[in-house]
């Protein structure tokens, strides 16, 4: 994706974004979220916010402060100091702003979906690594489950909402470590305990599961509704499932071989023995399922599906909703994939974790939230521009309902990238010793092509500046 250079039609881009902001009432939401300037005259809070929002489109290789180092060169009417004061203000309620904005966006795009479509909250986390410096506030030594190593950085815990078509980040937390021995730097003491900044610093030091439940509670209080909470294997534990069901939500998550035991036919069985005990296994993608009880007494259905990466192995999905079919459980869980594409898009396009080298925690919170806001605004524009039902009531009753993404289809779309790989390697005469670099290049190109197809709307939005074809 080509970034928007400053010598291009910046005024046109700015005008399109301002129209979109006006449609969403962003200025009103800023006031409701207690956004204020610490000092100075001239540039308003809304202008500062807009500058930060649009900064990632100026240059891919610069931090936001790099774009504002010289007001003579940057086409903006503020200073670097004013920008820093705005982003480091501990009174700014970034969480409330994201909740208010996402709630407004969800209310608008829900009208484009059928009333019987299942709505889901999706929970996941991603590591934001900081390779330089140990004096960053609350910087910690955390374990990266992707690379299977300890790194310096933070954990971005995110809760999103989806109808199967759009994904909207609704709440998040920037976590350090609950273990003081793992923190390189503690939180500052020079902060008012009544501020949002103090609350966020306290949250950063609690357990991930505790914070996750708090995020769900805050989201429900904001009026955002859902039927299910989707999660991966790390969160799908008995205590966490119990905490979510107590909130009136059902859980659909993947489970793995752990110490967890399930009551089945009067026996406590682990996942492997449960699979062996279930009769009437089938030869398709869905092998079998059974209704069992967790050790704390919750009835759940566990569905075993074939692992297409290893046909002799299986994956297991757990659902607390016993009234839906095996196929529906797989279909609903497939929506969890949207948070993975969201994290990648935020890191690749919206500079999540790379936009600032600041050391204070308020600044880090601001940029983490801003990345989610950028994604939300662009997804809102994409949904309205592409869905014909946004053109008016004429199409509302006649347009076909978009289908949910099947789990198998999502996996196949990735694996199909490799179906013609052998032919390409043969044609390129790469089946020889010493050609590993070229092989890796071809694989990376295939993966990049697949992901570009998933996030093509981002490229369309940025290349054309066409952000505001919204039927109001």
What integer pLDDT is reported at residue 6 of this predicted model? 46
Which tokens is 362 given? 């308020």
Coil, strand or helix: which one is 421?
Answer: helix
* Distance (Å, whole) CA 390 – CA 157: 32
What integer pLDDT is reported at residue 73 of this predicted model? 44
* Distance (Å, whole) CA 213 – CA 231: 12
Are 185 and 138 in contact, with CB atoms under 8 Å apart? yes
Which tokens is 202 given? 């306290």
* Distance (Å, whole) CA 405 – CA 321: 20
DSSP H helices, 119-207, are 196-203
* Helix (H) / strand (E) containing 73: helix 71-74
Q: To which residue do tokens 């092998």 refer?
A: 287
Q: To which residue do tokens 């795009």 refer?
A: 109
Residue 450, by phi and psi: left (phi above 0), alpha (psi -120 to 50) or beta?
A: alpha
Coil, strand or helix: which one is 91?
Answer: coil
Provide the whole-model pTM. Answer: 0.81
* Helix (H) / strand (E) containing 152: strand 149-162
Taking the C-alpha atoms of 345, 351, 353 and 355 in order, what is their torsion angle to the nearest 10 degrees?
A: -170
* Distance (Å, whole) CA 12 – CA 163: 32
Nearest to 55 by CA among 45, 68, 46: 68
Coil, strand or helix: which one is 438?
Answer: helix
What integer pLDDT is reported at residue 37 of this predicted model? 76
* Distance (Å, whole) CA 381 – CA 19: 11
* Distance (Å, whole) CA 304 – CA 286: 6
- Going through 274-346 in order, the beta strands assigned E by DSSP cover 286-294, 299-306, 314-319
Are 157 and 125 in contact, with CB atoms under 8 Å apart? yes
Angle between helices 196-203 and 94-109 (to 10 degrees): 80
Nearest to 103 by CA among 160, 20, 19: 160
Q: How far is CA 462 from the centre of its chain?
A: 20
* Distance (Å, whole) CA 229 – CA 245: 9
What integer pLDDT is reported at residue 147 of this predicted model? 83
Exposure string for 280-318, b = 16+ CB within 10 A, e = fewer: eeeeebbbbbbebebeeeeebbbbbbbeeeeeeebbbbb
What integer pLDDT is reported at residue 355 of this predicted model? 86
What integer pLDDT is reported at residue 401 of this predicted model? 37
Question: What are the Cα distances from residue 103, in Å, to 9, 72, 98, 162?
Answer: 32, 38, 8, 12
What integer pLDDT is reported at residue 422 of this predicted model? 52
Which tokens is 336 given? 């969890």
Are 185 and 134 in contact, with CB atoms under 8 Å apart? yes
Based on its alpha-carbon atoms, the radius of gyration of the chain, rounded to whole angstroms, reads 24
What integer pLDDT is reported at residue 60 of this predicted model? 54
Q: How far is CA 349 from the centre of its chain?
A: 13
Q: Which residues of the chain have pLDDT under 70?
A: 1-10, 38-42, 58-78, 387-434, 436-437, 440, 444-472
């Amino acid at each position: 994706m080509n970034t928007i250079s400053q010598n291009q039609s910046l005024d046109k881009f700015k005008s399109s974004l301002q129209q979109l902001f006006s449609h969403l009432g962003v200025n009103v939401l800023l006031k409701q979220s207690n956004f204020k300037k610490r000092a100075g005259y001239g540039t308003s809070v809304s202008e500062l916010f807009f500058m930060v929002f649009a900064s990632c489109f100026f240059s891919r290789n610069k931090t936001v402060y790099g774009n504002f180092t010289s007001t003579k060169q940057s086409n903006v009417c503020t200073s670097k100091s004013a920008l820093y004061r705005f982003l480091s203000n501990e009174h700014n309620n970034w969480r409330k702003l994201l909740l208010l904005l996402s709630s407004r966006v969800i209310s608008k795009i829900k009208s484009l979906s059928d009333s019987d479509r299942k709505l889901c909250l999706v929970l996941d986390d991603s590591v934001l690594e900081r390779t330089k410096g140990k004096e960053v506030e609350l910087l910690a030594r955390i374990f990266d489950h992707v690379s299977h190593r300890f790194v310096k950085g933070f954990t971005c815990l995110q809760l999103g909402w989806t109808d199967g078509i759009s994904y909207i980040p609704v709440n998040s937390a920037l976590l350090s470590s609950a273990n003081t021995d793992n923190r390189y730097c503690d939180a500052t003491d020079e902060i008012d305990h009544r501020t949002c900044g103090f609350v966020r610093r306290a949250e950063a030091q609690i357990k991930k599961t505790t914070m996750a439940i708090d995020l769900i509670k805050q989201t429900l209080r904001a009026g955002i509704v859902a039927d299910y909470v989707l999660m991966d294997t790390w969160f799908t534990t008995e205590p966490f499932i119990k905490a979510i069901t107590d909130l009136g939500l059902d859980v659909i998550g993947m489970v793995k071989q752990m110490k967890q035991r399930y009551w089945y036919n009067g026996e406590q069985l682990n996942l492997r023995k449960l699979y062996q005990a279930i009769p009437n296994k089938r030869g398709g993608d869905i092998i079998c399922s059974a209704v069992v009880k967790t050790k704390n007494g919750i009835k759940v259905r566990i569905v075993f599906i074939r692992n297409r990466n290893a046909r002799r192995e299986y994956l297991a999905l757990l659902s607390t909703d016993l009234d839906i079919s095996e196929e529906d459980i797989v279909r609903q869980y497939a929506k969890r994939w949207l948070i993975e594409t969201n994290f990648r898009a935020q890191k690749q396009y919206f500079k999540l974790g790379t936009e600032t080298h600041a050391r204070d925690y308020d600044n880090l919170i601001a940029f983490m939230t801003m990345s989610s806001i950028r994604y939300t605004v662009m997804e809102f524009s994409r949904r309205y521009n592409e869905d014909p039902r946004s053109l008016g009531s004429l199409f509302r009753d006649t347009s076909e309902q978009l289908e949910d993404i099947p789990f198998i289809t999502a996996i196949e779309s990735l694996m199909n990238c490799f179906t013609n790989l052998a032919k390409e390697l043969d044609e390129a005469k790469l089946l020889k010793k010493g050609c590993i670099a070229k092989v890796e290049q071809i694989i990376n190109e295939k993966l990049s092509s697949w992901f570009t197809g998933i996030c093509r709307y981002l490229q369309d939005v940025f290349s054309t500046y066409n952000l505001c074809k919204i039927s109001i």
